[in-house]
Structure 1
Amino acid sequence: MPPLIHKWNHSYAILSSVAFPHKKILFAGTHDSKILCFDLSTYNLAKTIQLGDEEEAHTRSSVLCLAKSQDERYLFSAGADSLVRIWSVGELSPNGGVFITELTTLYSLIDIGDIFSIKYLDAHQTIVFGCQNANMMYMSGIMDRLNGKPRCDDVNRLPQRRYDRFFDSNGPGSQGDSARCNSPSPGCYESRKNHTIMEVPLRNTIPYAHNSFIYSIQPLSGANVQLPDAFYQNGLTRASTEFIISGGGDGLSKIWALSMKNKGCADVKLLAEMDNNESVLCQVVQFPFLYCGLNGGFVKIWDLNLDELVATLQSSSKCDIVSISVYEDHIFASHEKGVTKFFKDETFEWLVDDGLVLSTEILRKKCTGSSFLRLAAGGKSGSLTLYNISELVEETHHRGSKINTKISEAANEAQKSKLKLDYQAILDNDNMQETLRELMSFKTVSAFTESQYVIDSRRCASYLQQAFTSLGASCNLLPTGSNDNPLVHALFKGKSKSKPKSKIVWYGHYDIISPGDPSKWTTDPYMLTCENGFLKGRGVTDNKGPLVAAMYSAGSAFLEGTLENDIIFLVEGQEESNSQGFVEAVKKHQNLLGNDVDWILFSNSYWIDEKIPCLNYGLRGVINARVTIWSDAPDRHSGLDGGVHREPTTDLSRVLSKLQDDDGHVLIPGFYAPLGELKAEEEARFKEIIQRADLCESVTLEKLMAKWTKPSLSITNMKVSGPGNSTVIPRSASATISIRVVPEQEVHEIKESLESFVTQSFKRLETPNHFKFQVLNEAEPWLGNPENAVYQILREEIRDAWGIDPLFIREGGSIPQVRFLERTLNASAIQIPCGQSTDNAHLNNEQLRIENWYKMRQILHKAFNRL
């Protein structure tokens, strides 16, 4: 299977698709009467159009076919309601929306059944569509007619309002004269809900164009097609003639000439027939060849100049070919099992788990501006998938180290000769995604000491070194201990001549926590999955996604020659394991950082909801400690020894009970002494959060203040020896205490007070059992200054990117090394969250919205030069 770029899921089958690549839009027609509009830049679902009247269920219709105008101004849809709809399509807005308006609805007075195929011929504003009743119909001068807008007032002329379906309709007029238009004439309109209704004249019908359903219509002329003179015979002229090829269930492909006349009429001539011997389910024209997808897995290729059969191919699955796409003689044929690619004498087939593939669409690089050639495939299961097919068509393909090799060569050239190179193709978002894909594949669980994870973590650090170097940075791996993952240090040198350079440190980490039970994930946690506008996988939001966005922000500016400030990256591999070795490594190699760091930036938290971007200026610290009590005796039976000896579990319970009173108030001496009143400006920020953020009703101002500005104590884990059944008295018992501290408190003071308090509580029990207190890990709290220059610059850039002011928030969690870096580098830290409240960091199905990721890169790209 080729690499998957993105996948969207819908509840019903995707029946048709059409791309507007210059507008970065992909449309999909569904079985449940919807047209889905996807943003190809952010992969968000930009709009859902529901067909038919909201109050009338019988007007709903499967969208069987879609088409577009060459200038991408108009979308055309048709399907099971016997109607053709014309839509005006605007540009994607900066916030990801798109304005789409239904301009007109075309209908026929005769019952034509389902519309299986539709195409728009731009030269003469002509819509051609193929019908279930074997008729082919057309309407010319569409846009000119819309500008005229004569009117009638009878919506009951629309076929879906007659209630009876194909072959048994009562037809217009059978319900009385009220079903007829007051002035029935070809081209009749009605103004309804800001659009018009247009009747296709009966004279614009080609009756029994085939002896079966008409599944396919393809234009033969176009911007890139220059037809030979042989097509223009018997009075046909280039200026007035359009050519189409229709394909039907009768096995025939037919070439038609539509010679346009005045008043939207045309002379229609059948020029040639090609017998495929099997039903023609789909067709593609790349002149001079016609590619026909047939029953039985056959693909036939015809030379249109000579009306000769060139080749007959067959997929190994022998399933009906229901959609076909062609790129430079590479044929992609979809069927019930998946997709088969034919090229010369080679056949490549990949199976899909989603079942029947019903539509395919190739998105060319020159149109989308992306680095990869893409194939969009819509399936019966409701999936719409983008595949990277660059490798399959033998194009230059850059992934992982291959990307970096090319970038490195370009960077060296830029440094040596200062040539202005176009780096966009190798630094676009597609390549950024491929770098993240490689990074996600490393199983960098720092808590696991098995060789697989140790080796993968070292390989990941080496990959990051290669990636940084390729983006133009100088990079070193710094040891942190014999068994600990190395620290990655990278420097992008700025070139500012207009002002003194700033030095910014970006702090991040490449290690992750364990994904846990894979069965609880809907995707492979170690494989980047792009689905429904989100990136998914372990570490995608914590912290590999934000790290890659920051790398590409600095790297692209450096390679473009626009980076003004020095950007230093410190990326550790032990953050999820108490940052073991980090402090020692930074102190040992502080010469690489210097004594003139201005700012420390990091992104390791999330928005407070799913809608409003945030800036984070505070974190609680943490002290995790374990208390263990054990006896010299082995595990015992409660029936034999119960009530005879002092039991470790009972002693532990008594010690833990002394930590808090009945109201949850912490009783450790001096615990609350340093705390003061919340400042008025902070309380105002918290009130703004309550007012603006989309929070559940249970979140109150008091609860926000409690978890962000107040310390807490929790018992997070309890363990006992023995089998754990109800009759065994354990010889040992332990509990983990987790204390969250706030900036007013000193970690070492709280830690010492906790140890002294539980030790004295145990001694007062006068028990023969033994006691041990152990600090597992600790992290200092952090409080930034939301009024400083960097926060204000980031605020402006966020407002520019998202069109909304960010919220200034704090968080109850901890990041161990922020305060250490502030003290060591004598610089202020600033946090810019990337993900949303629903990212599921440290949980199953971790994710990061692609739009957030792209905007993060955009924001940092500008901010790095403004700091």
Structure 2
Amino acid sequence: MWFPSIHKWNHPSAILSTVAFPNKQVLFAGTHDSKILCLDLATYNLVKIIPLGDEGETHSKSSVLCLTKSQDEQFLFSAGADSLIRIWSIGRLTSSGDLTIREMATLYSSLDIGDIFSLKYLDAHQTIVFGCQNANMLYMTDVIDRLNRKPQSSDMNRLPHRRYDKFFDSTGPGNNARTPSPSPANLSRPDHAIMEIPLSNSIAYAHNSFIYSIEPIDITDVQLSHNFHVDGLEEGSTAFIVSGGGDGLSKVWAFNKCAKNIVDVKLISEMDNDESVLCQVIQFPLLYCGLNGGYVKIWDLNLNELISTLQCPSKCDVVSVSVYENHIFAAHEKGITKFYKNEIFERNVEEGLVLRTEILRKNSGGLRHLRLATGAKNGSLTLWNMNDLISEHPNYGAQTSLSSNGYSVPNPHPEGQSLFDNDSMLETLRDLISFKTVSASNENQHTIDSRRCASYLQKVFTKLGATCDILPIGSNDNPLLHATFKGTSNTKSKIAWYGHYDIVSPGDPNKWGTDPYILTCENGYLKGRGVTDNKGPLVAAMYSAGSALSKGTLEKDIVFLVEGQEESNSKGFAEAIEKHRNLFGNDVDWVLFSNSYWIDEKTPCLNYGLRGVINAQLRVWSEEPDRHSGLDGGIHREPTTDLSRLLSKLQDDDGRVLIPGFYDSLIALSNDDKARFEEVYKRADLAKSMSVDKLIAKWAQPSLSITNMKVSGPGNATVIPHSASATLSIRIVPGQDVHAMQDSLQQFVSDWFSKFDTSNHLEFKLLNEAEPWLGKPNNAAYQLLKKEIMEAWGINPLFIREGGSIPQVRFLERALGASAVQIPCGQSTDNAHLNNERLRIENWYKIRQILESSFTRL
């Protein structure tokens, strides 16, 4: 879809740059013919045109290539083809439409820097940073303080264009003396400061080409990121930018304020885009780069990882990028391409090259308004109404507000609201549910949302008092978070909490009673995808640890390991843990997690056992194509027949698995386990068909299931498929080795297939595997949790096992040298992985209470 235009202004020359002052309701636009247009965003009037340069001096006129502002909207900065930077004081727009604008200063360099293509103002340092045609990046510190100091030079003849001219200053044949430039009489403006940028403030060849883009990074974001922690940089005195150049590189720079007027600049990292970087925009942790060839590349700044590459159908160079949530607008010669989810929409909005886009957001009369401003080569400047996007995403992310530079996060805790109360916890969960973190999806939106979610969780951990790093997992998949709430005890013992922020797809939204990505509180339940698996329990654990820390009752360190790939077989998790093993030490006492449910709706439980799993696919295929049963039936051995015969060898008529050694290593059920199973049967609200023997079969016995069968071809009654496949899901229990069972299965089907008199082929594919886990319900942690549950619920919990699997539990026990303990949060009717997933609010509040007390006593 596209949006209706609200207003259009026409100018005789191209619109090259824009910057909005939303609080002052003014939009400034720089033009090719050396003017700055001042437009009233309320009345849409052109209130003022500012011509640049001195009257009568045609060689001082220049294109306005870039505009930027101070955050308080007191100052406007402009630069362009004349190698000068101008500073303007901006007043307020009056009711009569008058706008007071005063040119306060001009900055210049004695170097021949050429055109200035990019310009930003770093408010914390009062530092102007700009990128030039000569590949240098220059900066000027304490700009406003310098303006406020007296005396100041006001001699306009110091400016480069008045001191020399590229034609008249040539030495001529034989290296003759320079011919003086023709210039008007001496000019002095007492109310105007002329400042020369020191040569020491020039970074030579910051790029190996023109520097087209400079974007600042929100300091509150980078302070949380390990990627921006560099020796020698002082926290709170450092600003960060990303520059982009024609050499294809995006570079992260740190500007560290060492002393007055002195900034130390360090290159932190760089990312190679392969194509020239013509524009950039940041919504931390994501960097969007507009490139030659119509490409938009999206990087995770936390990890310097390329996470997505998009391309405009026209393949025209992307000269401007704007982003609203997951809507990406790329401007180019053919107009604008919008990327959203897996959709691409291209529109020629101005009958010519769009040179500039900017997203504007304002509040008026209690309503929010979203606008897209586009400036084009033909001189048109258009405002487009994007309010439909606001209604489409009413509660997206961390309640963000958009400025012209992207996200800014307002104070999340209004006056009178505690950081650790349940309302704050609810708002955090609301934000978390809104991220579409489907790890099994290749959709660009899900990839971006997962990175945003990891960055958001990092902010929440830090807000609650933890230190938190985002760790790569080595395959550009969703990263791992490592957070630590530091206890008061001098001992080094720790408690680890394992959770995950990824989810399975909600499927068809029409089968949900509410939007799966909007947290709904209804009839005592929280509803939304991931609310019980696993975002709700994760948030409860985070707030439990943070609350205990704030009260000074937390003695042991609480270490959180939160992954983003659990629903995709925890891809890369084990490798990341091994790689960063030094972060955890050798002193973890317990591994706690909550990724399961009560056995019914009324009885709290503690889980101490999970079956393991081997999921595999058998595919039988023929070198012949799909054939017609009437023409070729009975001539060849058919893949479906061979697959059926093979599957029949896996079990006998009573369902007993015939894989060699399948039952040899089973551990007999202990008397204590039998007693626990009998107690579950007596106390739990189970189906009438359930029995103790069936509980044992579900929880403590292995099984083999054929879960899916597919054939090639159209699937009608007369086509013989050239291939057929079946998926096996084998659940294993303690005593069975997952790798031995996998090898035995593969060997078994291979041996049987080799006995078939067939020309067909067999392919065995392991899909995923997980070890079984059996905890120790009599250990100190389980017994403490039992007491805490009794105190919270007034009833002793049931000790249960489950037939499902969690891949990393046994791995964490071995890697950290600690016993795992699971405390289920939700009920049997939570519908995890199904439509209308939910979590009872009382359960959620109670597990927070239980965990906070347990964290202080374990």
TM-score bucket of the superposed structures, by smaller chain:
0.5 to 0.7
TM-fit CA distance, 1:595: 1.0
**Aligned match of 2:448:** 455
**Aligned match of 2:597:** 606
CA contact (8 A) 1:401 1:467 kept: no
Q: How does 1:54-453 map to 2 (within 5 A)?
A: 401-402=409-410, 425-453=418-446
Distance 1:530 1:495 in 2: 37
Question: Against the structure 1 CA distance between its residues 424 and 506, is the aligned structure 2 distance closer, same or farther, given a 3 Å change threshold?
Answer: farther
1:606-642: CA deviation from partner (whole Å, max 9, x where unpaired): 0000001000000000000000110011000011100
TM-fit CA distance, 1:699: 1.1
Q: In the alignment, is residue 489 of structure 1 matched against residue 482 of structure 2?
A: yes
SS of the residue corresponding to residue 549 of structure 2 reads helix
Question: Against the structure 1 CA distance between its residues 403 and 583, is the aligned structure 2 distance closer, same or farther, given a 3 Å change threshold?
Answer: farther
TM-fit CA distance, 1:402: 4.0
**Aligned match of 1:13:** none
TM-fit CA distance, 1:562: 2.2
Distance 1:848 1:783 in 2: 26
1:386-432: CA deviation from partner (whole Å, max 9, x where unpaired): x9xxx9xxxxxxx995456x69xxxxxxxxxxxxxx99722100010
CA contact (8 A) 1:403 1:431 kept: no
TM-fit CA distance, 1:477: 0.6
Output the amino acid matched with 1:452: Q
**Once structures 1 and 2 are overlaid, which stretch shifts more, 787-796 or 561-570?**
561-570
Distance 1:853 1:426 in 2: 17
TM-fit CA distance, 1:348: 5.7
TM-fit CA distance, 1:676: 3.6
Q: How does 1:530-545 map to 2 (within 5 A)?
A: 530-545=521-536
**Aligned match of 1:48:** none
Which of the residues 604, 619, 635 maps onto 2:626? 635
SS of the residue corresponding to residue 425 of structure 1 reads coil
SS of the residue corresponding to residue 426 of structure 1 reads coil
**Unmatched 5+ residue regions in structure 1?**
1-345, 351-386, 392-398, 408-421
Which of the residues 656, 660, 665 maps onto 1:665? 656
Distance 2:416 2:781 in 1: 28
Q: In the alignment, is residue 769 of structure 1 matched against residue 757 of structure 2?
A: no
**Aligned match of 1:716:** 707
Distance 1:654 1:616 in 2: 39
Question: Against the structure 1 CA distance between its residues 667 and 781, is the aligned structure 2 distance closer, same or farther, given a 3 Å change threshold?
Answer: same
Distance 2:535 2:552 in 1: 26
Distance 1:630 1:646 in 2: 10
CA contact (8 A) 1:798 1:806 kept: yes
Q: In the alignment, is residue 470 of structure 1 matched against residue 463 of structure 2?
A: yes
SS of the residue corresponding to residue 534 of structure 2 reads helix
TM-fit CA distance, 1:747: 0.5
Distance 2:479 2:747 in 1: 36
Q: In the alignment, is residue 850 of structure 1 matched against residue 841 of structure 2?
A: yes
Distance 1:675 1:657 in 2: 24
Which of the residues 790, 793, 798 maps onto 1:807? 798
1:469-521: CA deviation from partner (whole Å, max 9, x where unpaired): 11111100110133310001000000136xx4530000000000010111110
Question: Against the structure 1 CA distance between its residues 504 and 423, is the aligned structure 2 distance closer, same or farther, given a 3 Å change threshold?
Answer: farther
Q: How does 1:698-777 map to 2 (within 5 A)?
A: 698-777=689-768
Which of the residues 610, 617, 629 maps onto 1:626? 617
Q: In the alignment, is residue 522 of structure 1 matched against residue 509 of structure 2?
A: no
SS of the residue corresponding to residue 608 of structure 1 reads coil
**Unmatched 5+ residue regions in structure 2?**
1-363, 369-394, 400-406
SS of the residue corresponding to residue 622 of structure 1 reads strand
Q: CA RMSD in A?
A: 2.1
Distance 2:365 2:496 in 1: 51
1:156-207: CA deviation from partner (whole Å, max 9, x where unpaired): xxxxxxxxxxxxxxxxxxxxxxxxxxxxxxxxxxxxxxxxxxxxxxxxxxxx
SS of the residue corresponding to residue 640 of structure 1 reads helix
Which of the residues 454, 473, 498 maps onto 1:480? 473
TM-fit CA distance, 1:674: 1.0
Q: In the alignment, is residue 790 of structure 1 matched against residue 781 of structure 2?
A: yes
CA contact (8 A) 2:544 2:851 kept: yes
Distance 2:647 2:474 in 1: 36
**Aligned match of 1:415:** none
1:335-354: CA deviation from partner (whole Å, max 9, x where unpaired): xxxxxxxxxxx97699xxxx
CA contact (8 A) 2:482 2:561 kept: yes
Q: Percent identity at matched positions? A: 71
Output the amino acid matched with 1:824: A
Output the amino acid matched with 1:428: D
CA contact (8 A) 1:512 1:538 kept: yes
Question: Against the structure 1 CA distance between its residues 423 and 812, is the aligned structure 2 distance closer, same or farther, given a 3 Å change threshold?
Answer: farther
SS of the residue corresponding to residue 555 of structure 2 reads coil
SS of the residue corresponding to residue 774 of structure 1 reads strand
Distance 2:469 2:801 in 1: 33
1:670-713: CA deviation from partner (whole Å, max 9, x where unpaired): 10111243111110001101111111111110100001000000
TM-fit CA distance, 1:578: 0.5
**Residues matched between the structures, number:** 460
Q: In the alignment, is residue 690 of structure 1 matched against residue 681 of structure 2?
A: yes
CA contact (8 A) 2:475 2:572 kept: no
Question: Against the structure 1 CA distance between its residues 349 and 586, is the aligned structure 2 distance closer, same or farther, given a 3 Å change threshold?
Answer: closer
Output the amino acid matched with 1:460: C
Question: Against the structure 1 CA distance between its residues 467 and 794, is the aligned structure 2 distance closer, same or farther, given a 3 Å change threshold?
Answer: same
1:738-780: CA deviation from partner (whole Å, max 9, x where unpaired): 0000011110111010000011111111210111101100000
TM-fit CA distance, 1:866: 0.6
Output the amino acid matched with 1:679: S
TM-fit CA distance, 1:559: 2.1
Distance 1:517 1:489 in 2: 34
Distance 2:509 2:571 in 1: 27
CA contact (8 A) 2:599 2:828 kept: yes
Q: In the alignment, is residue 547 of structure 1 matched against residue 538 of structure 2?
A: yes
TM-fit CA distance, 1:557: 1.4
SS of the residue corresponding to residue 658 of structure 2 reads coil
TM-fit CA distance, 1:596: 1.0
Output the amino acid matched with 1:489: H
TM-fit CA distance, 1:558: 1.3
